[in-house]
Each structure stands twice: as structure tokens, then as C-alpha cells.
């Protein structure tokens, strides 16, 4: 059985690599059409060519990184890298929970060492080359250190709790872990903007003035109670603009990047907020959280069959992950690694489903804004964001289907009614 798992994992790694990079190449060589008239008024030819160069550069870089990662993972797996990590943690400690913390901590360190040059190149060369990067070396270093600390504290704490449940609960593991993770996810969703975001960015209530008044007037018109409108200093890292809705219940808030306020007119900002309010009014956040919880439960239920203590499946999977090493014993951490690789086809299907739902939600939120007379303002906001972020105007439809959580600009404008932008 271990031999079957071993070659199954290799097959999934290869198929995933071929699919991912095949789609990347498909999108890379997809011909770009001339700009339509209504876009050419905002998006000059020089900017359009720059956006294509940026997208091509990102795709080339992504392809290179994918190849390197694939080779590293395949070598690490095939030649028993996980078995070596298993031996190291067992020699350090006999405590089961500590072994799991050490194993995943060791993998995190190795992964970070490998990805650090990628992150540096992407931030300080690729993004800088096209005028986006505003991250200083100091900010970059402190971001990394804070992220590592959060992973160690929060990630380590959650892992400890899950392993503790696994060690004591037996066949009840999957639903106890599901309940625990669901509660943590809800708390994280509610308090993310209050606890995590301030560690990296400064958030401030939107100042009193015409913009705040316009937003509050629209919110009242739409029947939406909105007390928390914040701005965030996104410009300390990038010139790219964004806005998002976070929190649940009394903790809900809308956050505007300072770059967004700089790039858009007041009526366009109101339209963007109308779109975000549309997500809330149509319960997209609640639906998204619910679907995520259901997916987690399904995954944990399937996982329970692969990590059941001392079962033949758990032992075979651990040996397969360890490079088909028959001397390796079953463990929670090796089971998790093996399951994550075997589960990848199901994960892909879930990803396609969630992207489909997300794109439908974006259309619905656009329609909500349009219902309140924001059609043209929202369309112009989307165009300006696409121009300023150098986003690809015509991505390949299949690439959109697999990877886009939002419809492309042209798809959204078509739904909003492109004739609105002809004058």
C-alpha cells in the first residue's frame, strides 16, 4: 500500500505542475485585442503596453518559481527529506505534541529560506520596475519578523490544540477538530481588523468631510448601518489600491486604502463602497464563511481515515511520504503531509467551486450598486483601478475559470452595460 501511495503522490505532483503551468502558458500567449474606444479615453496605448509587459513579466516569474518549487518538492519527497525531518524531531524529543511543533516549524523555516529570495526579487525588482513598490528594507524585514512571530504564536497554538485533540479523541477527532477550527475562524474573522491588521498597518477613522458624508448618505439610502469607516496606509508598501469589508455583527467595518482615495473621485469611491455594502446586504460574507466551514468539516472527515492511529492506511501513508521508507512509523505530521498531497484533486475542485461562487457574488454586488444609480461611477472606478494596477484586460477565459476570484474588467463592464461608458 505504501508503494501505491508513493507513486500516487508523485503522479498528483506532476499532474498539478503540468496543469498549473499549462494554464499559465495558455494565458501568457493569449493575444491581446486593441483597446475599445471607451477604454482608450482613459487607458492610453503606452499604459496599455506597459500593463501587458507587467503581466508577461509576472507570468514568466511565476513560471520560473513554479518550476523551482516543483523540483525542490519532488527531490525532497523522492529522496526522503520528510524522513530526515522525522528522524530529527524524534531525536530531539519524545513528547508527541512537541514533535509535531518541531516538524512543522522545521518545514516552515526551510520553506521560508527557499522563498525569501523569491519575495525579495518580487518586491524590490519586479514590483519596483513597474513603479508599484514603496516597501522599505526596514518595513520588509519587520513584516517578515512579525509574520514569523504570528505563525509561531497563533499557528503553533492552534497546532498544539489540534494535536492534543487528536491524541485524546480517537474516532471523535474530526468533528472536535472541526468545531474548534470553526470557532477560531469565526473569532479571527470578527477581530482580524482590530488585532492583526494594526501590527502591519495604521488604520484611522475616515475624517469628517464630503466623502464621509456622501458614504453615510448612501449607506442610509441603502438601509445599511455603517459606523466604522476606516482608511489604511497601504501606500507604505505599494501604489496599488484596494478596499475591503471585514468583520461580522457589530465588528463589521469598511476599509479604504489611502491609495484608493487618491486615485478615485468622490462619486467613484461611493460606488466602490456601494459594491462592498452589496456584499454584506446579500450575505456573501456569511455564505462564504458557512461554505468554508462545511469544506473544512468535509476535509477533516476524509482526513480522519488517513491518520487513524496505528491503522494500515496511516502507516502506509507515512512510509510513502518518507520516500517509501518501510522503517518509518505513522505520525500525525507525516499523515497531514501525505493527505495534503493526495487531497489536491479534491482541493482543486473546491477551488473551482469557490471561485465560481466568488465571481457570481462580484456580479451581484455590482448589480446592487447599479440598482442605486452607481453604474457609471462604479464602471469608471473599475477602469481606473485596472489602469493603475496594470491588470490584464483580456486574460484567457480558461485561466479566469481556474484562478480568478473576480470576473475580468471586460466581463464586469459588460454586465454593468458597456453603453454607459460610450460618452
Nearest to 180, CA basis, from 102, 293, 96: 293
CA-to-CA separations, 234 to 146, 240, 321, 369, in angstroms, rounded = 17, 8, 41, 25
End-to-end CA gap in the chain: 67
Parallel, antiparallel or unpaired: strands 243-246 and 229-232: unpaired
Q: Say if CB 343 and CB 8 are below 8 A apart.
A: no
| Residue 334 burial by Cβ neighbours in a 10 Å radius (0-12, 13-18, 19+) | buried
256, containing H or E segment: strand 253-257
Class of residue 340 by CB neighbours under 10 A (exposed 0-12, middle 13-18, buried 19+): middle
Q: Residue 406 phi/psi, 5° resolution?
A: -120, 145
CA distance 121 to 274: 37
Residue in 216, 276, 310, 422 annotated catalytic: 276
d(CA 383, CA 380): 5
Which residues neighbour 76 within 8 Å (Cβ) at sequence distance 6 or greater? 82
265 is catalytic: no
List the catalytic residue out of 366, 418, 420, 422: 366
Q: In which residue are the cell numbers 446586504 written?
A: 281
- Exposed/middle/buried for 395, CB within 10 Å: 0-12, 13-18, 19+? buried
- Annotated active-site residue 420? The verdict is no
Active site residues: 276, 366
Amino acid at each position: 500500500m505504501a508503494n501505491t501511495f508513493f507513486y500516487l503522490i508523485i503522479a498528483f505532483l506532476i499532474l498539478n505542475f503540468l496543469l498549473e503551468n499549462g494554464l499559465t502558458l495558455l494565458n501568457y500567449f493569449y493575444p491581446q485585442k486593441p483597446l475599445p474606444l471607451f477604454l482608450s479615453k482613459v487607458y492610453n496605448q503606452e499604459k496599455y503596453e506597459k500593463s501587458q509587459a507587467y503581466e508577461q513579466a509576472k507570468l514568466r516569474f511565476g513560471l520560473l518559481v513554479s518550476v523551482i518549487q516543483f523540483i525542490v518538492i519532488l527531490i525532497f519527497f523522492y529522496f526522503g527529506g520528510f524522513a530526515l525531518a522525522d528522524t530529527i524531531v524524534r531525536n530531539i524529543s519524545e513528547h508527541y505534541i512537541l514533535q509535531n511543533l518541531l516538524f512543522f516549524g522545521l518545514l516552515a523555516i526551510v520553506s521560508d529560506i527557499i522563498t525569501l529570495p523569491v519575495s525579495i526579487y518580487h518586491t524590490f525588482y519586479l514590483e519596483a520596475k513597474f513603479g508599484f513598490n514603496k516597501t522599505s528594507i526596514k518595513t520588509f524585514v519587520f513584516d517578515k519578523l512579525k509574520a514569523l512571530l504570528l505563525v509561531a504564536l497563533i499557528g503553533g497554538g492552534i497546532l498544539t490544540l489540534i494535536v492534543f485533540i487528536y491524541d485524546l479523541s480517537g474516532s471523535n477527532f474530526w468533528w472536535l477538530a472541526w468545531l474548534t477550527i470553526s470557532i477560531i475562524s469565526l473569532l479571527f474573522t470578527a477581530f482580524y481588523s482590530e488585532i492583526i491588521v494594526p501590527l502591519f498597518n495604521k488604520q484611522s477613522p475616515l475624517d469628517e468631510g464630503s466623502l464621509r458624508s456622501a458614504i453615510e448618505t448612501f449607506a442610509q439610502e441603502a438601509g445599511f448601518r455603517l459606523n466604522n469607516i476606516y482608511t489604511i496606509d497601504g501606500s507604505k508598501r505599494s501604489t496599488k489600491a484596494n478596499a475591503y469589508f471585514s468583520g461580522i455583527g457589530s465588528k463589521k467595518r469598511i476599509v479604504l486604502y489611502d491609495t484608493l482615495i487618491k486615485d478615485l473621485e468622490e462619486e467613484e469611491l461611493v460606488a466602490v463602497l456601494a459594491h462592498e455594502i452589496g456584499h454584506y446586504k446579500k450575505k456573501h460574507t456569511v455564505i462564504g464563511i458557512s461554505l468554508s466551514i462545511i469544506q473544512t468539516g468535509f476535509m477533516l472527515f476524509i482526513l480522519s481515515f488517513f491518520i487513524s492511529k496505528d491503522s494500515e492506511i496511516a502507516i502506509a501513508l507515512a512510509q510513502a511520504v518518507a520516500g517509501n521508507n518501510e522503517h518509518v512509523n505513522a505520525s500525525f505530521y507525516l499523515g497531514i503531509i501525505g493527505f495534503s498531497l493526495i487531497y489536491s484533486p479534491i482541493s482543486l475542485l473546491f477551488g473551482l467551486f469557490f471561485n465560481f461562487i466568488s465571481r457570481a457574488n462580484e456580479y451581484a454586488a455590482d448589480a446592487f450598486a447599479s440598482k442605486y444609480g452607481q453604474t457609471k461611477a462604479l464602471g469608471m472606478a473599475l477602469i481606473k483601478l485596472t489602469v493603475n494596477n496594470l491588470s490584464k484586460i483580456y486574460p484567457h477565459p480558461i485561466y479566469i475559470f481556474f484562478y480568478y476570484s473576480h470576473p475580468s474588467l471586460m466581463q464586469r463592464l459588460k454586465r454593468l452595460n458597456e453603453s454607459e461608458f460610450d460618452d
